[in-house]
Amino acid sequence: MTKLGEYLAQKSVNKSEVARKTGLSRARMNELTLHERSHLRAEELYLIANAIYVKPCDLLEALFGKTEEKK
């Protein structure tokens, strides 16, 4: 399971409902939540965040950790 899959499971989010709200296929949602080799696109992250009522930056941080500005 991917970090996105774990995040959605922790929040008790229904993947089919997210797919419906975002316009992503259920197959794509399964790929993003089950296969580590899948790559989450920025647009998909934005759509998923909106569908589950979280800020995109909060979802980004939950999945990839805090990023620090390089000096």
pLDDT at 71 over 80: no
Task: Tokens for 16, please give them.
Answer: 């089919």
Convert 1-32 to b/e letters by CB count within 10 Å (16 or more is b). Answer: ebebbebbeeeebebeebbeebebeeeebebb
CB 56 within 8 A of CB 48: no
Residue 22's pLDDT is 97
Span 16-51, pLDDT tens digits: 999 999 999 999 999 999 999 999 999 999 999 999
The model's pTM: 0.89
Taken in order of first residue, the domains within the chain and their CATH numbers are: 3-64 (1.10.260.40)
Q: Residue type for 41, please?
A: R
